[in-house]
Amino acid sequence: MCGIVGYTGPREAYPIIIKGLKRLEYRGYDSTGVALQNGGIKVYKKKGKVAELEDTIVGKNLHANVGIGHTRWATHGEPSDRNAHPHQSASGKLAMIHNGIIENYSQLKNELLKKGYTFKSDTDTEVLLNFIEEIKTNNNCSLEEAVRVALKRVTGAYVILLLDAEEPETIIAARKGSPLVIGVGKGEHFLGSDASPMLEYTKEVVYVNDYELAIIKPDELILKNLGNEKITPYIQKLDLELAAIEKGGYEHFMLKEIFEQPQTIYDCLRGRLDAEAGTITMSGIEQYANQIKNARRIVMIACGTSWHAGLVAEYVIEELCRLNVEVEYASEFRYRNPVIDEGDIIVAISQSGETADTLVAIETAKSKGAIILGVVNVVGSSIARASHGGAYTHAGPEIGVASTKAFTAQLAVLTMIALKIANIKGTISHERYMLLLKELNEVPEKVAWVLKNADKVKKLAEKYKDADDFLYLARGYNFPVALEGALKLKEISYIHAEGYPAAEMKHGPIALVDETLPVVFIATKDAYHEKVVSNMQEIKARKGKVISVITEGDDLSTSLSDDVMIIPEADEIVAPIISVVPLQLLAYYIGVARGCDVDKPRNLAKSVTVE
Ligand code: G6P
- The CATH number given to whatever domain includes residue 362 is 3.40.50.10490
Q: How many angstroms separate the CA atoms of 517 and 568, rounded?
A: 27
Q: How many angstroms separate the CA atoms of 357 and 355, rounded?
A: 6
The reply to whether 518 falls in a domain is yes
Average pLDDT, the chain: 94
Q: Which of 409, 441, 473 is the last residue of a domain?
A: 441
Q: What is the pLDDT of residue 248?
A: 81
Q: How many angstroms separate the CA atoms of 212 and 233, rounded?
A: 11
Q: According to the 3-state scheme, what is the secondary structure of 551-566?
A: ECCCHHHHHHCCEEEE
Percent of the chain past pLDDT 70, that is, above it, reads 100
Q: Which residue has the higher pLDDT, 96 or 343?
A: 96
Give the confidence band of 310 by pLDDT, cuts at 50, 70, 90.
very high
C-alpha distance from residue 248 to each of 256, 257, 277, 298, 581 (Å): 8, 10, 36, 40, 20
Across the range 150-156, mean pLDDT stands at 93
Q: What is the pLDDT of residue 132?
A: 98
CA of 591 to the centre of ligand 1 (A): 19
Answer whether residue 315 shows pLDDT above 90: yes
Q: Find the DSSP H helices in 379-528.
A: 382-386, 405-425, 430-441, 443-452, 454-464, 479-493
Give the confidence band of 606 by pLDDT, cuts at 50, 70, 90.
confident
Q: What is the pLDDT of residue 297?
A: 93
Q: What is the pLDDT of residue 472?
A: 98
Does one domain contain both 427 and 513? no
Answer whether residue 168 shows pLDDT above 80: yes
User: Known catalytic residue: 2?
Assistant: yes
Across the range 363-379, mean pLDDT stands at 93
CA of 606 to the centre of ligand 1 (A): 6
Q: Which atom of ligand 1 is nearest to the CA of 604?
A: 8
Task: Name residues whose C-beta falls within 8 Å of residue 125's C-beta, 6 or more positions apart in sequence.
Answer: 76, 85, 87, 96, 97, 98, 102, 160
Q: What is the pLDDT of residue 157?
A: 84
Does one domain contain both 375 and 404? yes
Does one domain contain both 86 and 197? yes
Q: What is the pLDDT of residue 608?
A: 77
Q: Which of 253, 303, 398 to mutate to test the pocket of ligand 1 (most atoms within 8 A of CB)?
A: 303
Q: How many angstroms separate the CA atoms of 145 and 266, rounded?
A: 50
CA of 485 to the centre of ligand 1 (A): 15
Phi then psi dihedrals of residue 266, to 5 deg: -60, -45
Q: How many angstroms separate the CA atoms of 54 and 108, rounded?
A: 34
Q: Which among 2, 268, 303, 596 is annotated as catalytic?
A: 2
Across the range 124-129, mean pLDDT stands at 96
Q: Which among 46, 109, 405, 606 is annotated as catalytic?
A: 606
Give the confidence band of 604 by pLDDT, cuts at 50, 70, 90.
confident
CA of 352 to the centre of ligand 1 (A): 7
Q: Which atom of ligand 1 is nearest to the CA of 330?
A: 15
Closest residue by CA, ligand 1 atom 15: 350
Q: pTM of this prediction?
A: 0.83
Does one domain contain both 270 and 198? no
Min mean pLDDT across 214-223, 524-533, 571-580 is at 524-533
What residue type is assigned to position 245 of the chain? I
Q: What is the pLDDT of residue 52?
A: 95
Q: What is the pLDDT of residue 182?
A: 98
Does one domain contain both 191 and 52? yes
Does one domain contain both 356 and 235? no
Per the structure, the count of domains in the chain is 3
Q: Could you tell me if 47 and 84 are in contact, meaning their C-beta atoms sit under 8 angstroms apart?
A: yes
Q: Which of 195, 103, 112, 108 is nearest to 158 (CA)?
A: 103
Q: Could you tell me if 320 and 573 are in contact, meaning their C-beta atoms sit under 8 angstroms apart?
A: yes
The reply to whether 405 falls in a domain is yes
The reply to whether 184 falls in a domain is yes
User: Known catalytic residue: 596?
Assistant: no
User: 575-603 as b/e, with b when 16 or more CB fall inside 10 Å?
Assistant: bbbbbbbbbbbbbbbbbbbeebebbbbee
State the maximum Cα–Cα separation within the chain, in Å, rounded to a whole number.
80
Question: pLDDT by residue (tens digit) across 177-188?
Answer: 888 999 999 999
Work out whether the CA dihedral 602, 608, 609, 611 comes out positive or negative: positive
Does one domain contain both 112 and 62? yes
Q: What is the pLDDT of residue 255?
A: 97
Q: How many angstroms separate the CA atoms of 199 and 244, rounded?
A: 10
The reply to whether 449 falls in a domain is no
Q: Which residues line ligand 1 (CB under 6 A)?
A: 303-306, 350-352, 355, 358, 401-403, 604, 606-608
Q: What is the pLDDT of residue 569?
A: 97
Q: What is the pLDDT of residue 239?
A: 80
Q: Which of 25, 403, 607 to mutate to test the pocket of ligand 1 (most atoms within 8 A of CB)?
A: 403
Q: Which atom of ligand 1 is nearest to the CA of 352?
A: 14
CA of 350 to the centre of ligand 1 (A): 7
The reply to whether 520 falls in a domain is yes
Answer whether residue 145 shows pLDDT above 80: yes
Answer whether residue 19 shows pLDDT above 90: yes
Closest residue by CA, ligand 1 atom 8: 606
Does one domain contain both 64 and 15? yes
Q: Could you tell me if 51 and 29 are in contact, meaning their C-beta atoms sit under 8 angstroms apart?
A: no
Q: Could you tell me if 314 and 340 are in contact, meaning their C-beta atoms sit under 8 angstroms apart?
A: no
Q: Which of 377, 411, 441 is the last residue of a domain?
A: 441
Q: What is the pLDDT of residue 147?
A: 97
Q: How many angstroms separate the CA atoms of 427 and 436, rounded?
A: 14
CA of 32 to the centre of ligand 1 (A): 22
The reply to whether 385 falls in a domain is yes
- The CATH number given to whatever domain includes residue 95 is 3.60.20.10
Angle of helix 575-593 relative to helix 479-493, nearest 10 degrees, comes to 20
Across the range 5-29, mean pLDDT stands at 95
Provide long-range contacts, Cβ within 8 A and 24+ apart, for 506-509: 506/538, 509/471
Does one domain contain both 365 and 487? no
Q: What is the pLDDT of residue 370?
A: 95
Q: How many angstroms separate the CA atoms of 138 and 83, rounded?
A: 27
The reply to whether 597 falls in a domain is yes
Q: How many angstroms separate the CA atoms of 97 and 234, rounded?
A: 25
Range of the domain at 335: 250-441
Question: pLDDT by residue (tens digit) across 429-473?
Answer: 999 999 999 999 999 999 999 999 999 999 999 999 999 999 999
What are the percentages of helix, strand and coil residues in the chain, rounded to 5? Answer: 40, 25, 35
Give the confidence band of 75 by pLDDT, cuts at 50, 70, 90.
confident
Q: How many angstroms separate the CA atoms of 89 and 93, rounded?
A: 6
Across the range 46-56, mean pLDDT stands at 95
Q: Which of 27, 355, 378 to mutate to test the pocket of ligand 1 (most atoms within 8 A of CB)?
A: 355
Q: Could you tell me if 483 and 308 are in contact, meaning their C-beta atoms sit under 8 angstroms apart?
A: yes
Q: What is the pLDDT of residue 592?
A: 98
CA of 199 to the centre of ligand 1 (A): 23
Give the confidence band of 562 by pLDDT, cuts at 50, 70, 90.
very high
Q: Which of 398, 382, 28, 332 is nearest to 178 (CA)?
A: 382
Closest residue by CA, ligand 1 atom 7: 304
Across the range 205-226, mean pLDDT stands at 96
Across the range 118-142, mean pLDDT stands at 96
CA of 607 to the centre of ligand 1 (A): 6
Does one domain contain both 464 and 566? yes
Q: Which of 254, 258, 305, 358 to mutate to test the pocket of ligand 1 (most atoms within 8 A of CB)?
A: 305
Q: According to the 3-state scheme, what is the secondary structure of 366-413?
A: HHCCCEEEEEECCCCCHHHHHCCEEEECCCCCCCCCCCCHHHHHHHHH
Does one domain contain both 178 and 317? no
Q: What is the pLDDT of residue 76?
A: 82
Q: Which of 193, 228, 244 is the last residue of a domain?
A: 244
The reply to whether 446 falls in a domain is no
Q: What is the pLDDT of residue 390?
A: 95
Closest residue by CA, ligand 1 atom 5: 304
Does one domain contain both 37 and 104? yes
Q: Which atom of ligand 1 is nearest to the CA of 305?
A: 10
Residue 270 half-sphere exposure toward CB, CA atoms < 13 A: 10
Percent of the chain past pLDDT 90, that is, above it, reads 87
